[in-house]
Chains A and B, each alone.
Chain A
């Protein structure tokens, strides 16, 4: 066989090899909930309240799930919440770490998700204690339009 560049020349029809396939498409955007007054509760939780391992796991989870078109196939997601959060269309991510970290969120528009509340729990003890109620309060604020959003992107170089 003969080659000229990346083409075969012994064919009547020139076959052009496809270019390098593009990387996976990022289909989801994730946002942190923020108060109108300027508080950034998700960023505060990320910076201060979780371990290094959980922080890395959170990033890895974002990087994985942002490329999955169907949110029902997200890994580590609980779609149907029970108890206080039942019926509020709030979902939960499990984030692995030394303790069971959780992130509560909601959908907002096409392929957009908003993180409402991060917490962890040991058994029935939630930290912070009012985590579920706070998530509900933020959901109400969100529905009323009293919020700010901050985009959260998992850095590709980490």
Chain B
């Protein structure tokens, strides 16, 4: 029986061993991420300690595997200090292993809140959609926006984490698909022929909502 098979057998049989396995990975990867993000910002431990309102020795301990038993509040505090989000997610062992294998402290980086266009943009997106809906309603058209789950068109080259949020390019693709317009009875009660997208576009004068 190979070493791997032995370990897998023990993982299946022994709860404590499973806990050790998870702990061993987190005890290395969490400090490594904290260190990586600090280094990406060109900050020293004292500088980060000042921002986090902690002692430098605590930052040092947090960056050393096994020195600190992280609790959620500590992680939240560090995430807030570093201007990034935090996900604590229960996942299959295989996903955890993939995460570990694909992780590199040298390349690990997280977009900070100030530069997070994907997070900052939706406010604009909502306003545009509301404006467009108002204009369409004016023409007697209700926009049919099928709920395409985000990530359906996800780029297969993305990691699972990246696939959860579409890129700008994918977003534009999705929104262009959502422009399936249907008509509803006008206020006078007469039903227009279907589809009337072209007519509506024509009737709208300067409005061009159809794909051209």
Contact = CB atoms under 8 A, between A and B. Distances in A.
A and B form one complex = yes
A18 B157 contact: yes
A98 to B, nearest CB: 10
Interface stretch (A33-41, A63-71, A112-120, A138-146): A63-71
B35 A75 contact: yes
A95 interface: yes
Given A67-B105, A155-B4, A53 B20 contact: yes
A19 interface: yes
B194 to A, nearest CB: 26
A54 to B, nearest CB: 8
Interface stretch (A20-28, A83-91, A103-111, A125-133): A20-28
Nearest to B29: A64
Interface stretch (B62-70, B131-139, B178-186, B196-204): B62-70
A75 B4 contact: no
Given A24-B106, A57-B65, A75-B28, A63 B101 contact: yes
A59 interface: yes
A60 interface: yes
Interface in B97-118: 97, 100-107
A1 B102 contact: no
B172 A94 contact: no
B176 interface: yes
B66 A96 contact: yes
B104 A68 contact: yes
B39 interface: yes
Nearest to B64: A76
Contacts of A70: 106
Contact of B64 (A19, A75, A156): A75
Interface residues of B, number: 37
B17 interface: yes
B32 A57 contact: no
Contacts of B107: 24
B166 interface: no
B176 A76 contact: no
15 contacts: A23-B101, A24-B103, A52-B20, A53-B20, A60-B65, A63-B101, A64-B28, A64-B105, A68-B106, A76-B65, A94-B66, A155-B3, A158-B4, A158-B7, A158-B97
Given A20-B157, A64-B28, 13 more contacts: A24-B102, A53-B23, A53-B24, A56-B24, A57-B65, A60-B27, A60-B28, A60-B65, A67-B103, A69-B106, A94-B66, A95-B65, A155-B4
Interface of B: 3-4, 7, 10, 17, 20-21, 23-25, 27-29, 31-32, 35, 39, 63-67, 97, 100-107, 155-157, 172-173, 176
Enumerate the 7 nearest inter-chain pairs by beta-carbon distance, A residue then B residue, closest first.
Answer: A96-B66, A24-B104, A56-B24, A53-B20, A60-B28, A20-B157, A67-B104
